[in-house]
A and B are shown apart, each in its own frame.
Chain A
Amino acid sequence: EVQLVESGGGLVKPGGSLRLSCAASGFTFSNYNMKWVRQAPGKGLELVSSISSGGSYIYYPDSVRGRFTISRDNAKNSLYLQMNNLRVEDTAMYYCVRDLNLLCGGDCPFDPWGQGTLVTVSS
């Protein structure tokens, strides 16, 4: 069974840092592009970072560029998101997601999704 399990969320003060982790199982992790998607309370979905299967192509939207760093360890089947200089507006559930399959190249919908880890930024 394909599984994505996030961890590392919690309460942090503005300006603080957190490192999220996603443990993948049930598929060949090193073959797949991976993403982090977040959802603020009561709001919609926003992709916050993407990394290619080998780690060479990385994308961030303007909202997090320079503050968030995505990385992966294919030997450990793990995805990470280092979040620095956190802001109140970064408060959200953070989901680890995988590209649907290997046939779509870099143009893939997202499936599956992990259960998410909650990040709360508050003083």
Chain B
Amino acid sequence: DIQMTQSPSSLSASVGDRVTITCRASQDIRTYLAWYQQKPGKVPKLLIYTASTLQSGVPSRFSGSGSGSDFTLTISSLQPEDVATYYCQKYNGAPWTFGQGTKVEIK
């Protein structure tokens, strides 16, 4: 099975900072990569799919890039409402594996 590894596991940054989270797949998954945001106590929400397509309603400060096995989620200017855990997921067939998550906090 393909494994998904995120880094870092957690980060603390200041409001306005540029934040980057990486996700590595153990095999080539082309661009079958999604990012989800889960705010504390809330349901996961789809942010980005096909590695770089923003889901409707997602602020433009979020962006995704990558293909093959290396992917990045970037928040261009961190806002207080972005405090959350972010998960990557491969979805090119079973098993639909998630990364372990990256917790983003405000410094």
Contacts and interface: CB of A to CB of B under 8 A. Distances in A.
Given A44-B101, A45-B87, A111-B55, A95 B95 contact: no
Interface in B59-75: none
A54 to B, nearest CB: 17
Contact of B44 (A59, A95, A106): A95
A50 interface: yes
Contacts of A108: 91
B96 A50 contact: yes
Interface residues of B, number: 22
B96 A47 contact: yes
Interface string A75-104: 000000000000000000001000010000
A73 interface: no
Interface in B68-106: 87, 89, 91-101
Interface of B: 32, 34, 36, 43-46, 49, 55, 87, 89, 91-101
